[in-house]
Structure 1
């Protein structure tokens, strides 16, 4: 998942909320406070949680994730899959319409998907389309649009040819960049069609009625939605504030009834009031080594630092939020379809805590009191929580290894550029799944441009095999083997698996938090 998701959730600012704040009295309206202003609501271009949360209410893909986060028929009522897993034929529902009453067709999907991988669109989401035949080649200007494996056979039939069998492809069709967008509107107003409520056309359970920028987004039920009979709310309102304290005040005072990321210091009080909730969230907070920068170009030094981290204490005293200490890479919540077991449970812990062994490894690498390590600096983006974690690790490494570690914080955009260039030794990082499959995590370090500057041929080959096989048993075995290599080479230090803390009034019912960090209000209601 792109880093923007994580930043949007974890950063808090000082902007004061200024939207109208009447007490919630309407029984058919949910007020959910967004944590940031969407820069756009164009599903091809957006990357942050506030944007994608809003789009989930307004748009729909061929599939939509259910309460178990499994893809179910949505704008497509059914599909056929070829025996080799490379050809999907989707059959759209008859009579499906945009919110303005015009038909939604297979041509809309062909146009929308090719738009995402059009190099002139320059979408940051294009990589999620790369399982489609020639999509990556088109994005890199090595193929034509007509060669991309997406074709509308008629108004109701979309055929998709994949470059290789992709076990999670149906999950992808529920992701925001796979939504259809209205071609005529987009081509008429390519820069502004999704930047304002006026004239915006939607396909999902709700349609947008008002957007006061940096203040509030309002919705009403989309009567042209194919499943409108199951949409219980007539209206929704999304006030906007990037201040955690302001968002929480709105919920506690009943001026709104739900928001994300209440301040950790308020957790106990909110629990006692029955307002504190925690949803599953497929992600991990970790530290990443630049494996080419001394002293971390030596795997023994990397392992010494990793073995010295006391995660349980960090989670209990600093992080809170009912987070789970992490001892591997892929988080819990992903099922092996062959065994029916959780992928993480099968793989077990791949890292331990052992200060004695850590000191031995450091000595084997040639470092002791007479030969101290060169200067080591932790890089993190400016945020109180990141600072607290970095300070804790600094103390742990001093106590366990006797090493001096400096801290360096940077504004988030600068930080991400620094990390991407590899201009660091060890840095804070987070990763949230783009789609519900272990591959969303495992392919991170097979990328030739990964932040760790890590390149392992065996690892890359296992990831390639896992992508291209049509045998789920082989696929899962390859992914487990690759994950073990990642820890044999000690590329990262996992800290905790993420959760999604939120505050909600108990009378809001029927919503569903996806493991991807999004909340679906399609079936929500006020009790």
Structure 2
């Protein structure tokens, strides 16, 4: 049995999750001052959200909270399948592009208003509104007329989403899309309350005006300190929500967060310091869970500035990194060395691991790295010493720092260059990437849905997440081809060709494919983790 097959099997086993078993332990929740029957799960969100408006959110520091306070037409279930959420049922017409969703009868907003199909129509068109400038607007390009409206070439009335009445939503796509139902579970597709948003443009900035439709509701947001969500009594499945609330601290220092977990101040924690993961693994600590992830850790190159506009420089820097050493000695969480931008865990047209047929497109090759680097220096007019003016930009995290230090040393030892390191808050990093204010930056991407396209379409010329500013007409055409058909053989081959073009040009430098280690106290049960999401506490319990 080959290694790649084992990787796929292990990811799928973790995904189909395991409600974590209940067992007795000396661990008990620390007294939080709440009434005795109140169950408040305490964890850490790592970074201050830039927004909690679903249409404007763009990272896990926002989506982890949003996934608990909103719900889309479909949602993830504990057994790893997609099931109806706000929708009761749907039909797909013979044209394979027209969906008709019927909403549940018992769905309400946290303020008691009914959730209607009109809210969905409004929300999706709002996210596409070019005046809103939503980074994730492109996820609605699957809708007929969505891209045209967002880019100013069409009108809002031509967008393929329409409320036929309060309970019926008709959606028309540009082309058949195999993963559309899963897309409706993604946070950009969450509805917002039309009356609330239109009455107050700042509705999402204050808990007192915040309205949502999920199992929990926002009750407190102390910026850069904590976010508290409490059980939403208006949620249609509230009877099965066992927690009274979740207290998300906001600490960007992983070591401090771990100390709080060890001291009983947190009941659950992710991410974990890399040294802690290694120690817990060595001790077979039952509180450690290695969650599966469809995600890739990579570096962006700013291809618009010299010498990173030279493909030989970019490929040399990529080939001079020993990824196996990074995952074995530094990350230490079961991560897999990257072989491309698309991670393991997704199937191709033959129901086999996509990565196998796509091939190993990234490798450690010191001889070729040195050759390409010298050629690139000559072509760009730079010297090795000039690299001291450049920096790896990363968001504050002990783990990111250690990886950046390792890569810094590998480039020094293997190519004879010195680069600097610069750490900033996560939101600052995101803002600087969008502004092109970096030379090399740390990045990561978790699939919005479980299909290779969620990675491949990141680097089309028009993508708002194409921070490397890669621009290749052949690449764009292959991605468009893959999006225009449901023929799996055609789709997959187009994506494989596109990924090869991307890696031949190396605007981004894949380092490893993630796992998500987390620590969970023994008295916390029924947490589940979708393969492409942070852990869910929707049906979690404490002190069973």
Q: TM-score, normalised by structure 1?
A: 0.85
Is the partner of 1:375 in helix, strand or coil? Answer: helix
Task: Report the counterpart of residue 14 of structure 2 in structure 1.
Answer: none
Partner deviation per Cα, 1:431-451 (whole Å, 9 max, x = no partner) = 333333211211122124733
Q: Distance in 2 between matches of 1:97 and 1:130?
A: 28
Q: Distance in 1 between matches of 2:89 and 2:523?
A: 35
Q: Distance in 2 between matches of 1:264 and 1:22?
A: 32
Partner deviation per Cα, 1:271-330 (whole Å, 9 max, x = no partner) = 535333332233222234445655555544443333222111122222333322112110
Query: How far is the alpha carbon of 1:148 from its aligned partner?
Result: 1.5
Task: Report the counterpart of residue 266 of structure 2 in structure 1.
Answer: 256
Partner deviation per Cα, 1:63-87 (whole Å, 9 max, x = no partner) = 0022355432111122122334322
Task: Report the counterpart of residue 280 of structure 1 in structure 2.
Answer: 292
Q: Distance in 2 between matches of 1:136 and 1:51?
A: 25
1:2-401 mapped onto 2 (5 Å cutoff): 21-22=32-33, 26=37, 28-67=39-78, 69-191=80-202, 193-198=203-208, 200-271=210-281, 272=283, 273-291=285-303, 294-336=306-348, 338-362=349-373, 375-376=386-387, 377-381=390-394, 383=396, 384-401=398-415
Q: 1:475 to 1:84 in 2, by over 3 A?
A: farther
Partner deviation per Cα, 1:117-160 (whole Å, 9 max, x = no partner) = 22333323322222212223323333332222110011211011
Q: Distance in 2 between matches of 1:312 and 1:221?
A: 44
Partner deviation per Cα, 1:69-117 (whole Å, 9 max, x = no partner) = 5432111122122334322211112232223443221111111111212
Q: Distance in 2 between matches of 1:268 and 1:507?
A: 23
User: Is 1:441 matched with 2:455?
Assistant: yes
Q: 1:523 to 1:427 in 2, by over 3 A?
A: closer
1:295–1:374 CA contact under 8 A, matched in 2: no
Query: How far is the alpha carbon of 1:221 from its aligned partner?
Result: 3.1
Q: 1:260 to 1:105 in 2, by over 3 A?
A: same
Q: Which runs of 5+ in 2 are unaligned?
A: 1-29
2:339–2:363 CA contact under 8 A, matched in 1: yes
Q: Distance in 2 between matches of 1:35 and 1:96?
A: 32
Q: Distance in 2 between matches of 1:196 and 1:494?
A: 38
Task: Report the counterpart of residue 14 of structure 1 in structure 2.
Answer: none
User: Which one of the candidate residues 497, 520, 525 is aligned to 1:504?
Assistant: 520
1:380–1:386 CA contact under 8 A, matched in 2: no
Q: Distance in 1 between matches of 2:351 and 2:478?
A: 22
Query: How far is the alpha carbon of 1:501 from its aligned partner?
Result: 2.6
Moved more, 403-412 or 503-512: 403-412
Q: Which runs of 5+ in 1 are unaligned?
A: 1-18
Is the partner of 2:419 in helix, strand or coil? Answer: strand
Query: How far is the alpha carbon of 1:21 from its aligned partner?
Result: 4.3
1:250–1:257 CA contact under 8 A, matched in 2: no
Query: How far is the alpha carbon of 1:418 from its aligned partner?
Result: 5.7
Is the partner of 1:339 in helix, strand or coil? Answer: coil
Moved more, 492-501 or 297-306: 297-306
Query: How far is the alpha carbon of 1:524 from its aligned partner?
Result: 1.1
Q: 1:266 to 1:141 in 2, by over 3 A?
A: same
Aligned pairs, number: 504
Q: Distance in 1 between matches of 2:255 and 2:36?
A: 23
Partner deviation per Cα, 1:158-201 (whole Å, 9 max, x = no partner) = 0111223323221211011211222222222221x233333543
Is the partner of 1:503 in helix, strand or coil? Answer: strand
Is the partner of 2:321 in helix, strand or coil? Answer: coil
Q: Distance in 2 between matches of 1:240 and 1:26?
A: 25
2:275–2:332 CA contact under 8 A, matched in 1: no
Q: Distance in 1 between matches of 2:234 and 2:126?
A: 25
Q: 1:488 to 1:140 in 2, by over 3 A?
A: closer
Q: Distance in 1 between matches of 2:409 and 2:254?
A: 28
Task: Report the counterpart of residue 474 of structure 1 in structure 2.
Answer: 490
Is the partner of 2:109 in helix, strand or coil? Answer: coil
Moved more, 237-246 or 492-501: 237-246
Moved more, 243-252 or 168-177: 243-252
Q: TM-score, normalised by structure 2?
A: 0.82
Is the partner of 1:119 in helix, strand or coil? Answer: coil
